[in-house]
A and B are shown apart, each in its own frame.
Chain A
Amino acid sequence: MRLLFLFGLVLLPLQGRAAGMGYDEARLLLNRTGFAASENQVNEFAKLSREQAVERILRGARDMVVTAPPAWVNDPITPPRILRNLSPEERKTKRQEEIRKGIELRAWWLQEMIATPSPLTEKMTLFWHNHFVSSQQKVRYSKLMYQQNVLLRKYALGNFGELLHAVSKDPAMIVYLDSATNRKGHPNENFAREVMELFTLGEGHYTETDVKEAARAFTGWSIEPETGEFRWRPFFHDDGIKTVLHKSGNLEGDAVLDILLAQPDTADFIVAKMWREFIAPTPDPREVARIADQFRGSHYEIKIALRAILLSDAFYSQNNRALLIKSPVELVVGTLRQFDFSVPDALPFAFAAAQLGQNLFSPPNVKGWPGGEAWINSATLLARKQFLERLFRAQEMPQLMRTALKEKAKANGAGKLGMEQRERLVQAMEGIQFDADRWLSQFNVDPRAQAERLVLATAPVDRIDGHARGLELIREITRDPVYQLE
């Protein structure tokens, strides 16, 4: 019986080739562009050709969320002028309020990742969050972080040039990279350097002089402290002649961004980064150059580059399977989506992702999360295993999590949670539901083999030929080191 079934598995993709891309390629495509596809989705996409499948995914892109953001995103900010005049006690209260808002923001985004009909949209929003990095640690105002997230989503699959111009004037970015203090005669080079090194050209494709000159061009970009909106301050702008990458003139900030966009290095840099996100850690330079040409030729339409990547031979190559290590967010959201967890409130997972090394809205530095093998060290690997262990003991979880709460709270700043949010956290954990038997019931031939084929990117390492059933079977599969890969 088992032998017959395995034989069938080998035949299936061959049969499918003529009509569609087949199960394995469909699974690969859906998982690399989303968060752990379901068996039904994979079967549906298996019938499509690669081109049809990629078109359907790209067409599904959105620029709005389906999850309502916290109500406070519409409230005005408390300007620094008022904060400065508060008593130390009041200031502390304000700070804690901002921290609580930040936690709610993380929960909101994770909820959206769980709920969205277009996982690719959220994946690309996260990709740009890790590219155009800003961190709440420095920006402080949760509202500005929210607004930046909205902006990144708006352009997530739009035009990279427009995104670059917009995010460079985004208030959170203005604060994060010190543009507001970059003034004529007293340049602050932070933004000028990072826009070249990390946002466009990449290290080694510009000189120190370019940085200094560009910083002069960006002077005058600032924010209005009362509202937290972008503000142009001509008085602080240096309107002398600057030379950036051999282009001279009375350059202002937008002109410098256009100079950066005109450099072929920019398209190469972005495409190579997309390659590492969607295909494998080591980009193929010739393929990157080919796709970058199309990208630049389209004036930086992100969908053009992404389509080329998703239709490249390298994407489907057997040599590139299972080479990506899941990010904490991919692991957490993917697990919740994969196993049909019911998650009325994603708040607990904001802490979980942070503990695994990816605290949304707070990347470690302007370079973002390094990703890849850096996700896995002894501390984070153990945290991942513990997370899965606890998650799948869904019934015992409320108590377990309560016990763990204190410990976690200390590590992740939840100690600053107010009573209200603490209560919300406990309720959120009690609301998490999962039915292993129901989930497994969709596999009627050989549940273990079928579940493994859906859940694992390649053959498991710990081949325990056990007789595990139900929840135990799922725990065994997710405990395998291969579960960390995609």
Chain B
Amino acid sequence: MDRRNFLRKLGLGGFLVFVPGSLYAASSRYDYGNLLVLIELKGGNDGLNTVIPYADDEYYRLRPDIAIPRDQVLQLDERTGMHFSLKPLIALWQAKELAIIQGVGYPQPNLSHFRSIEIWDTASSSQEYLSEGWLSRVFASDPVPTRFAADGLVIGNQDLGPFSGGGTRAITLANTEQFLRQARLAGDTGLHVTNPALEHILKVENDIQQAASRLKGDYQFKTEFPATPFGNSLKNASQVIAGGGGVAAIKISLNGFDTHSGQPGTQQRLLGELAEGLVAFKSALNEVNCWNSTLIMTYAEFGRRPQQNLSHGTDHGTSNVHFMVGGKVKGGLYGPTPLLKQLDGNGNPAFGVDFRSLYATAVEKWWNLESRNILGGKFATLDVLQA
């Protein structure tokens, strides 16, 4: 008799479902041996200058000052190429471990940073307001094993994003060793209270205790990580992975993509950080044999408008390009190239791949779980992962 049946027989099943925290929830259909790493390109990366339709004259017409010149584009095929500062990723591309998904978006796009990232974080539709992050819903429906240090780990930035709400055991840290040193300051009362603010604090204390008893942060890699905050976040992620304490998903942010003005220099630096970071991450995960059990996925609140503005920048747009990277990824180009001659009333191209298809792919193909109830509908998965 499994735990759920046992509880049902006791007549407690219905009640216990509402108890937050996966400790009491039903057993899972999956052991979360595969790790999902989300990289948020905060501010809304300009996809059109990241993966470039360099053969399209319209691209150069829309961006007289900020287009990437054809001779600087890293050509992937006869019409699509990458920003030159993504050069480190060419090795991953050639190894067929980099999938590029173009035209990712959703119907009736919202152009506010906050609302749109909320839509992405909660996997809602444009008009729907959900309070729980999409990964929180996954973990509520299929709990992460209790022996895991945490359900989700947020490194660097403190925004819980897809881990917010629900009973998710989400740990936020900047540096694993520092976290372990400080953890002794947290109590573990195990008390139940009705004041929601106090309940939140007590839950965080308990999550800290559990994570601290299992995480390790002292692995010495041969790999050198870029000396940037993002590189440091990836280093900490690698150490947690190497330590084997167990987490189902990690979220890391790279900030600064809201390039309303002076975009070229800023984006060049940020994409360079992204590419160098990812290459180091792969190298580190290979050292500990975890590259094949890690799937990296980028996301952002939106892309940017094809027409440049007067400040050598771009304003908020809609559909965007995203990456999936990992040892089990089937590299290549996915999704439609942006149709720059068919922009909508706001000057944005139509999307071709719903962002929830990316999530459905992670949930169904990476974790072998059902995604329909999590995502509020059936979204087509992408054939982007090896079986």
Asked if A381 and B113 sit within 8 Å, CB to CB, the answer is no
Q: A382-B183, A485-B198 are in contact. Are A188 and B260 (CB under 8 A)?
A: yes
Q: Report how far A254 CA is from B236 CA in the complex, Å.
A: 49
Contacts of B68 in A (CB 8 A): none
Residues of chain B within 8 A (CB-CB) of A374 are 158-160
Q: Does A24 reach chain B (CB closer than 8 Å)?
A: no
Which listed residue, B191, B205, B261, touches A178 by the CB 8 Å rule? B261
Contacting residue for A385 out of B173, B186, B260, B309, CB 8 A? B186
B112 near A203: Cβ-Cβ < 8 Å: yes
Complex interface: stretch among A45-53, A189-197, A419-427: A189-197
On whether the beta carbons of A386 and B185 are closer than 8 Å, the reply is yes
Residues B179 and A188 in contact, CB atoms below 8 Å apart: no
For window 346-382 of A, CB contacts with B under 8 Å fall at: 357, 365-367, 372-374, 376-382
Q: How far is the CA of A366 from the CA of B196 in the complex (A)?
A: 27
Q: How far is the CA of A379 from the CA of B183 in the complex (A)?
A: 9
Q: Is B354 an interface residue (CB 8 A)?
A: no
State how many angstroms separate the Cβ of A414 from the closest Cβ of chain B: 15
The residue of chain A having its C-beta at the shortest distance from the C-beta of B196 within the complex is A323
Q: Is A411 an interface residue (CB 8 A)?
A: yes
B182 touches A481 (CB 8 A): no
On chain B, the residues within 8 Å of A372 by CB distance are: 197
Pairwise interchain contact A189-B185, C-beta atoms closer than 8 A: no
Residues of B close to A389: CB separation below 8 A: 185
Closest to A373 in B: B200
**Inter-chain contact A188/B309, CB cutoff 8 Å:** yes
A379 to B185, CA, bound (A): 12
Name the residue on A nearest B262 (C-beta): A181
Q: Does A402 contact B (CB under 8 A)?
A: no
Q: Are B182 and A323 in contact (CB under 8 A)?
A: no
The residues of B that contact A485 with a CB separation of less than 8 Å are 195, 197-198, 201
CA distance A132 to B162 in the complex (A): 27
Q: Find out whether the CB atom of B260 lies under 8 angstroms from the CB atom of A381.
A: no
Q: List, in ascending order, chain A residues with CB within 8 A of B191's CB.
A: 461
B311 cross-chain contacts in A, Cβ below 8 A: 178, 181, 188
Task: Judge if B275 is at the interface, Cβ distance under 8 Å.
Answer: no
- Complex CA distance for A90 and B212, rounded to whole angstroms: 46
Q: Which residues of B contact A103 (CB under 8 A)?
A: none
Complex: A211 Cα to B112 Cα, angstroms: 11
Q: Does residue A159 face the partner (Cβ distance < 8 Å to B)?
A: no
Q: How far is the CA of A83 from the CA of B98 in the complex (A)?
A: 41
Given contacts A481-B201, A485-B197, contact A382 B179 (CB under 8 A): yes
Task: Give Cα distance in the complex from A187 to B311, angstroms.
Answer: 10
Give the 7 A-B residue pairs with the shortest CB-CB distance, closest first: A186-B310, A181-B311, A385-B185, A382-B182, A377-B172, A379-B172, A481-B201
17 A/B residue pairs, CB under 8 Å, sorted by A: A178-B311, A181-B261, A186-B310, A188-B313, A203-B114, A211-B111, A367-B114, A373-B196, A378-B179, A378-B211, A379-B172, A380-B158, A385-B185, A386-B182, A458-B198, A461-B189, A462-B187
Chain B positions within 8 Å of A, measured between CB atoms, are 111-115, 154, 158-160, 170-174, 178-179, 182-183, 185-187, 189, 191, 193, 195-198, 200-202, 204-205, 207-208, 211, 260-261, 309-311, 313, 315-316, 346
